[in-house]
Every structure is written in structure tokens, then in C-alpha cells.
Chain A
Amino acid sequence: DVKVTQSSRYLVKRTGEKVFLECVQDMDHENMFWYRQDPGLGLRLIYFSYDVKMKEKGDIPEGYSVSREKKERFSLILESASTNQTSMYLCASSPSGGAGETQYFGPGTRLLVL
């Protein structure tokens, strides 16, 4: 089974703090994704990566950056957390760049920014 893990289930941070969210997948997948999930809005793509050291902006990249130094690990960084970044953050991975692929999700990190 594909396993995607996220470093924290719950985080509480203060406005202005730098926040790191870590994601690791164990199936040698090429693609990794970061989404945020807010009530009534569905999943919105923040950033994704097709390969090591490669990153592409998603639909809502503002206020975020990412890092993929190793194939299995994809990090989401909030350079200066703001209250509007309070959300559920979901990491996902998929095998390669094909259109007919399922994304496998981690358990999510619920972030509260005070």
C-alpha cells in the first residue's frame, strides 16, 4: 500500500512565524502535491513537483514556498504565517505524470495561526 505521511497532525503557530510542513511518501512516486482544504471550497492546489528539485505553482501559491531535495520528501513552507493560512493542509503523491492516475493523500495537518 502507498503510504503518505505528514509530520504533524495539528499545529498552532503565531502570526509571523515560519512554518514547515513535511510530507514523505514511500512508493517512489515522481509527483508530489500540496493542497489546502477549506470548508465549501474543496481542495486547492498550492504547489506541486514532478521531480527532485523541481516545483511548479498551483492555483494559490502566494504566501507559500516548497522544497523537494529528495524524491520521497516534499516540504511546504509558510515564510510568515498569517491568520488566513489557518486551514487543513493535505499532501499527496502519484506515480508519474500521466493523466490517468490517482493521487494518494496523507492524513492532513490542521494548522491554526493565531
Chain B
Amino acid sequence: GESVGLHLPTLSVQEGDNSIINCAYSNSASDYFIWYKQESGKGPQFIIDIRSNMDKRQGQRVTVLLNKTVKHLSLQIAATQPGDSAVYFCAENVSTGGFKTIFGAGTRLFVKA
């Protein structure tokens, strides 16, 4: 069935360390993936995206890696800061005539000062 899952529901890292948040997807027809950040009391904000014809994309302090062989997506945050504390979730767009977006449940990232 279709699912987008996260391996770790909670991640705690030391300020300045790198963070890695993982996501597994099961639909091989998915062709576009997005990572969102949701701070407490706010709506999700776009962080970075990647299309299925790529395996890596870099933004400012963030990198998304896509491994289509094992259907795995990860978000790497370099030099994690207290402001990075939030829930992060991945989403996949599946082209099924129209399209459908499937969201993961989220991982909460705690950054320790």
C-alpha cells in the first residue's frame, strides 16, 4: 500500500551537530518529494524538494538525499541550531492521472544547547 513513514519519531541533537531525518516511501510511482518544517503553533513550511530524476539536492544548510533503489529519503541539516527545533515531515507526490500527495507523520527534532 501507499505509505510515507519516518524511522524515528523523535530526534535529539546537540547544537552545532548535524541532524539526519529519515523517511521511507513505498510507492515507486512517486516522482516528487518535499520536506516540510512545522514549528509549534504554525503551519508547515517548505524546506526543500527533489524530483525523482535526482539523487541529491542542496539548499542552505539542508541537503535532501533520495535513494530510489530502497525507496528512502533523508533530510540532513548541517550545524543544527536551536531554531531548527520543530517537527519535520516528508511528502511524496504520486502521479495517478492527476496527482496525490502523501504526508508522513513527522519527526520531532530537539536541539540541545
The answer, yes or no, to whether B26 is at the interface (CB within 8 Å) is: no
Q: Which of B16-36 contact A (CB under 8 A)?
A: 31-32, 34, 36
Which chain B residues border A104 with CB–CB below 8 Å? Answer: 46
Contact A42 B104 (CB under 8 A): yes
Tell me, in angstroms, the Cα distance from A43 to B32 when the chains sit together: 17
Q: Which of B42-64 contact A (CB under 8 A)?
A: 42-46, 49, 51
Q: A41-B105, A42-B103, A42-B105 are in contact. Are A100 and B31 (CB under 8 A)?
A: yes
Which chain A residues border B4 with CB–CB below 8 Å? Answer: 42
Q: Mark A62-105, 1 if CB is under 8 A from B, else 0.
A: 00000000000000000000000000001000000111111111
The residue of chain B having its C-beta at the shortest distance from the C-beta of A102 within the complex is B46
Interface SS of chain A: helix, strand, loop or mixed? loop
Tell me, in angstroms, the Cα distance from A103 to B32 when the chains sit together: 12
Contact A102 B34 (CB under 8 A): yes
Tell me, in angstroms, the Cα distance from A105 to B46 when the chains sit together: 9
Tell me, in angstroms, the Cα distance from A29 to B46 when the chains sit together: 16
Tell me, in angstroms, the Cα distance from A97 to B106 when the chains sit together: 25
Contact B93 A43 (CB under 8 A): no
By the criterion of a CB under 8 Å from any partner CB, how many residues of chain A are at the interface? 19
What is the minimal beta-carbon distance from A100 to any residue of chain B, in angstroms? 4
Which chain A residues border B31 with CB–CB below 8 Å? Answer: 99-100
The answer, yes or no, to whether B89 is at the interface (CB within 8 Å) is: yes
The answer, yes or no, to whether B1 is at the interface (CB within 8 Å) is: no
Contact A108 B43 (CB under 8 A): yes
Tell me, in angstroms, the Cα distance from A100 to B101 when the chains sit together: 10
Tell me, in angstroms, the Cα distance from A28 to B110 when the chains sit together: 36
Contact A100 B32 (CB under 8 A): yes
Which chain B residues border A42 with CB–CB below 8 Å? Answer: 4, 89, 103-106
The answer, yes or no, to whether B12 is at the interface (CB within 8 Å) is: no
The answer, yes or no, to whether B14 is at the interface (CB within 8 Å) is: no
Given contacts A41-B105, A105-B45, A106-B43, 12 further A-B contacts (CB under 8 A): A42-B106, A90-B43, A97-B99, A98-B99, A99-B31, A99-B95, A101-B32, A102-B46, A103-B91, A103-B101, A107-B42, A108-B43
